[in-house]
Every structure is written in C-alpha cells, then in structure tokens.
Amino acid sequence: MNVFKSTILTAACIGVLAVAGGNVVRADEADVFKIGAVLPFSGPYGIIGKGMKQGAELAIEMRGSKVLGKPIEVTWEDSETKPQPSVQKATRLISSGAQMIFGAASSASTVALQGITEQRKIPLLVTISADDKITQANGYRYTFRTSNTLGMEIRMAIEFAKVRGLKKIYGVAADYAVTRDGMDSFSAAAKEAGIEIVDVDYPALGNRDYSIIIDKISKTDADGVALIVTGSDGVTFLKQAGQAGLGKSKVLFGPVLQDEVLAAAVGPDAIGAASGVRYHYSVDNPANKEFVEAYRAKFNEWPDSFAGEAFDGMSWFLDVIDGTKSWDREKWVDAFAGSVRENSVEGRKEMRACDHQALQVGLWGVVEKGEAPYPALKMKITNVFQPEALFPDCKE
C-alpha cells in the first residue's frame, strides 16, 4: 500500500470513528432514554451506591419511568470507588448510547468522569461528591452538582463552632488533597472568628488506629475537635474516641462526620457528635414527605443522605429535560444551567449558571438516640443555614 492510499484510509477511519463516537451532539429522537449510572457498589464507599441507586430508581418510577415520552433505561455499573474503573465503565456506557451519566461518589472518581463526559459532551449528574473543584466558574459545561460542596460544609462547621462558643479547637483531617484544603479553609475561617487552632494532625486516609492522636487531643485544653474525615475513618475515630472517653470532655464535630448510616456503625459512642447533613428525611415540606413515604413503602427503610440527594438530583434533571421537549443535549445543558427547583425535597434549589452548582440550604445536626419507628441512632437537625451564608460569589 502506498503512502497516499494509507493516508486516505487513515483519514477515513478517523472520520468513521468521529461519527460513531459521541463527539457529535445527537438531536435524534430515540426509542428509549438511556442513563448510564456509575456508582460504588464495592470498595470503601460501597455502602453509598445502594442508597443512590434506590433514590434514583424511585425518582424514575415516580415519573412513570418515562422522559420525553419515552421509557427510561438505566444501566448500573460498579465504580469500585476507583477512578479507573469509573472511566472505563462510563466510556462503555456512552458508547452504548447513554444520554447522560449519573455518578460517581468519591470525588476522585467524579473528577475522572468529568474528563470523559466533557470530551463526549454528555451531561454528568453529580449528587454526592463534594470536592469544590468539581463545580467551578466556567469550568465544566456538562457537569451539574445538585448536592453540597465541602466548602459550604466547612462554613457550617465554623458557624457551629461559633454558636457553641468553642474557643480552642484541635483539627484532624485525612491526609488527602480535598480534606487538607478543607482543613486549611477551616483554620483560616476559625482564626477570623477568633477561635484558636491548638494543633492539626493529618493521619493517612484509611487510617486504622487513632489511639495516640486521641491521647494527644485529650491532653490539650481544646474544647472542640474538628474532624474532616468521613466514611470508615470517621467511624473508626469515633469508636476509638468513645473507648477513651474523649467525647465527655470535648465537642466532636465535622463537616461530613456523621449521618444515620455512619452513626449506626459507631454505636452509642456517636451520640453527641455533630455534623453537616446532606439531606434528611425530617425536612418538613410536601415534596419530602411524599418522597419519604414512597421510599419507605418501596424499600422499608428511611432514606439516607445518598438516597435523598440522588432522588432530588435525578428528579430535577429529568424534569428539566422534559421541559425542553427536545433530544438535543445542548438544550438540556442550557436549560439546567440557571434553572430553579422550588419543590426540592430540601426546599428551594437554584442551579447557578456560572459554575453549575446548586445553591441550597445547609443542614447541620447532632446524633441522638432514636425511638421506633426511627433508627436507633438518628440525626437531629439543629441548624439550617441559608445559601447566602454558605456559597461565595462565583469567581473566574
């Protein structure tokens, strides 16, 4: 084969691949609306995937399993709580005709998904990952986050420290980029508020023994401990702190320290721990009541934060798509940016056009003993912070 022929053949192959791929925005009406869900069903965040799946399933079911008059088909894939499998599976789903991607849970996986969804021009619905960098001004056109950012949760933690009158705080954050940034923000805001940061420790992510750190904290005169850890790290810390009686002399709190799922894993030692709460079934509004009732009827359990956020995000996005009456993904993206959801299960939400981050209230709560039919340990919502106090203006 001569050079000319091989060049023509290569160009033809590239052309075919470009057309076959998702780079061309499709506006054709399809027989089904395909959603590709990449959620953690295994790995450190394996427990999150179940709630997200159930919440999204219910959102779809409650709208008759249809959008744009066509049946919705969801393919569930396990992200394994790792970026690489997340990208591989999302790529496969997009190649199979997914109109949107839903996921992931860990911020690292979500950031990895953003690469592929931006490249293929597929909307990415994020309902749990909290890294502030996921939604940034003029950042990712196809990414929409309907849930909290870590930044707003840090601001809630500071407000809590001020309300509780804490004067000296010991900080513990997982040795991980997002949580280190979070602790830096917390420390800076604490200093502004006149709160002294006694010391900060950065144990490894997935650390298994906090006993020495707990011993160090107990010997300081700090009156509060800010814990920027979550998942099994938070559970391990609170279990071991409980055995040493740390909670009796210090206020234990963190932006994402506890919810009902994690409190159940800690046991009674979780009582009194304060935390930001992404969603809560006790939020008093008609939309939430309807959701909680339907969720309990279908799954025979209270919806957790992951289920509530997934339900809310999925319902919102599908409503927006229906509103466009179009199969053009660019129109969905344009419509979602700047849209307002008055009847969210968490109250009013507004999708900020500049960074595709939903402005919303922030919930803060404390773990307390629950009575049937509630879980044995439940979050009592103690503070509701308004969006103006939690979200800084969009910056370039």
Partner 1 sequence: MSTIVIGLSMGMLLFLLAAGLTLIFGMLRVINFAHGSLYMLGAYLAFQTVNITGNFWAGLIAAPIIAAVVGALMERIALRPVYNRDHVYQLLLTFGFILVVDEAVRMIWGLEYKQMYPPELFSGAVEMFGSSVPSYRLFIIGFGAAVSAALFFMLDRSRYGMIIRAASGDPEMVRTLGINVSLVRTGVFSFGAGLAALGGAVAGPLFPIELGMGFNIIIDSFIVVIIGGLGNIRGAILASLLIGMTRALGYSFAPSWVDFLTFVLLIGTLILRPEGLFSRKGRTA
Beta carbons within 8 Å of 177's beta carbon, 6+ residues apart: none
Contact 299, 56 (CB under 8 A): no
Determine if 212 is a binding residue for partner 1 (CB under 8 A): yes
- Window 257-276: contact mask with partner 1 (x via CB under 8 A): ----xx-xxxx---------
Q: Which is nearer to partner 1, 175 or 293 (CB)?
A: 175
Determine if 211 is a binding residue for partner 1 (CB under 8 A): yes
Q: Which is nearer to partner 1, 244 or 354 (CB)?
A: 244
Distance (Å, whole) CA 60 – CA 365: 29
Q: Which is nearer to partner 1, 148 or 207 (CB)?
A: 207
Closest by Cα among 251, 253, 212, 248 to 230: 253
Determine if 41 is a binding residue for partner 1 (CB under 8 A): yes
Q: Dihedral through CA 311, CA 136, CA 97, CA 74, nearest 10?
A: -10
- For residue 11, is the peptide bond before it cis, meaning its omega torsion is within 30 degrees of 0? no
Contact 183, 154 (CB under 8 A): no
**Stretch near partner 1 under the rule CB under 8 A, chosen from 3-11, 158-166, 233-241, 322-330:** 233-241
Q: Is the dihedral of CA 332, 335, 341, 343 positive or negative?
A: negative
Residue spans of beta strands (DSSP E) within 244-372: 251-254, 274-277, 340-344, 347-351, 358-359, 362-369
Any alpha helices (H) in 34-80, and if so which ranges?
46-61
- Residue 158 CB, nearest approach to partner 1 (Å): 23
Q: Look at strands 224-228 and 251-254 and give their pairing.
A: parallel
Q: Which is nearer to partner 1, 214 or 318 (CB)?
A: 214
- Residue 46 CB, nearest approach to partner 1 (Å): 5
Determine if 47 is a binding residue for partner 1 (CB under 8 A): yes
Determine if 221 is a binding residue for partner 1 (CB under 8 A): no
Sheet of 340-344: strands edge to edge? 340-344, 347-351, 358-359
Q: Look at strands 347-351 and 358-359 and give their pairing.
A: antiparallel
| Binder among 50, 121, 296, 331 for partner 1 (CB under 8 A) | 50
| Binder among 219, 371, 373, 395 for partner 1 (CB under 8 A) | 219
**How big is the site for partner 1, counted in residues (CB under 8 A)?**
38
Q: Which is nearer to partner 1, 123 or 375 (CB)?
A: 375
Q: Which is nearer to partner 1, 42 or 65 (CB)?
A: 42
| Binder among 15, 21, 71, 206 for partner 1 (CB under 8 A) | 206
281 SS3 class: coil
Determine if 197 is a binding residue for partner 1 (CB under 8 A): no
- Residue 314 CB, nearest approach to partner 1 (Å): 21
- Residue 41 CB, nearest approach to partner 1 (Å): 8
Determine if 218 is a binding residue for partner 1 (CB under 8 A): yes
Residues that bind partner 1 (CB under 8 A): 41-44, 46-47, 49-50, 175, 201-204, 206-209, 211-213, 215-216, 218-219, 232, 235-236, 239-240, 243-245, 261-262, 264-267
